[in-house]
């Protein structure tokens, strides 16, 4: 499961990392895209990369609300999608071939069990850089009001590092797989599934962070700082 993540880099870093020069002017003043986010929780908005005619970025709500849903509240149960069953689940099967996306991030949180309660851990690349979660998205049209774009993060079995903390981990795409993941012309289910593997443990590190991160309302740089001691 992935229930919280961070993106400590702003718009310029996203543009450079994911080759998004065409969107700079459009989103430069939108805080939902341009400002870092240190503690993204389900139901909150976050920037998501999609590709139609060109690669672009859109703010979306975390927690997938399928186009056929009767109520927006279903999104609370669909923050993650298991890689192993994407092609079987009605909510995800069609989206796997039509609406794949990448969620920019610099880390994610899991809580390790201890005798003193659960300890928040921040997992990140050792080089501290941006990466992309594999995701799916959809557009929901309510009977009244504005359309809602929302996303889910795909999870897989944990690597050796994460296995000590949790039985799942978010899919971090290898950079060489990002282009084909966004390419709508790629319809080979086996080829897509081959990209949804645990990320190499030797490229990730986990550090204990402040329990202030337990509150989704706490969105400050202190969220990702290691606890000293």
Catalytic (active-site) positions: 2, 110
The answer to whether 78 and 44 have CB atoms below 8 angstroms apart is no
Q: Please provide the distance, in angstroms rounded to a whole number, between the alpha carbons at the two ends of the chain.
A: 28
- Which stretches within the chain are classed as H helix? 11-18, 24-27, 31-34, 93-98, 178-182, 189-193
The answer to whether 134 and 20 have CB atoms below 8 angstroms apart is no
Cα 7–chain centre separation: 10
Long-range contacts of 178-184 (CB under 8 A, 24+ apart): 178/18, 178/102, 178/132, 181/100, 181/102, 181/134, 182/49, 182/50, 182/51, 182/55, 182/100, 182/101, 182/102, 183/51, 184/51, 184/52, 184/98, 184/100
- C-alpha–C-alpha distance, residues 173 and 136, integer Å: 13
CB within 8 Å of 173: residues ≥ 6 apart = 102, 131, 132, 133, 134, 181, 195
């Amino acid at each position: 499961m992935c229930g919280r993540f961070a993106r400590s880099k702003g718009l310029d870093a996203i543009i450079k990392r994911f080759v998004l020069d065409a969107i700079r002017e459009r989103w430069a003043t939108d805080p939902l895209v341009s400002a870092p986010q240190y503690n993204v929780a389900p139901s909150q908005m976050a920037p998501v990369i999609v590709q139609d005619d060109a690669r672009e970025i859109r703010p979306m709500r975390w927690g997938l609300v399928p186009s056929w849903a009767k109520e927006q509240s279903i999104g609370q149960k669909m923050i993650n999608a298991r890689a192993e069953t994407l092609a079987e689940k009605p909510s995800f099967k069609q989206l796997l071939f039509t609406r794949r996306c990448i969620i920019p991030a610099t880390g994610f949180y899991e809580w390790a069990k201890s005798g003193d309660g659960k300890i928040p851990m921040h997992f990140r690349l050792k080089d501290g850089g941006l990466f992309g979660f594999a995701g799916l998205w959809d557009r929901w049209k309510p009977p009244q009001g504005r359309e809602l774009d929302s996303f889910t993060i795909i999870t897989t079995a944990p690597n050796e590092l994460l296995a000590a903390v949790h039985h799942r981990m978010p899919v971090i795409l290898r950079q060489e797989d990002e282009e084909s993941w966004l390419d709508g012309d790629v319809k080979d289910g086996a080829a897509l599934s081959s990209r949804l593997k645990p990320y190499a443990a030797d490229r990730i590190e986990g550090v204990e962070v402040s329990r202030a991160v337990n509150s989704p309302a706490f969105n400050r740089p202190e969220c990702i700082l290691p606890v000293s001691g």
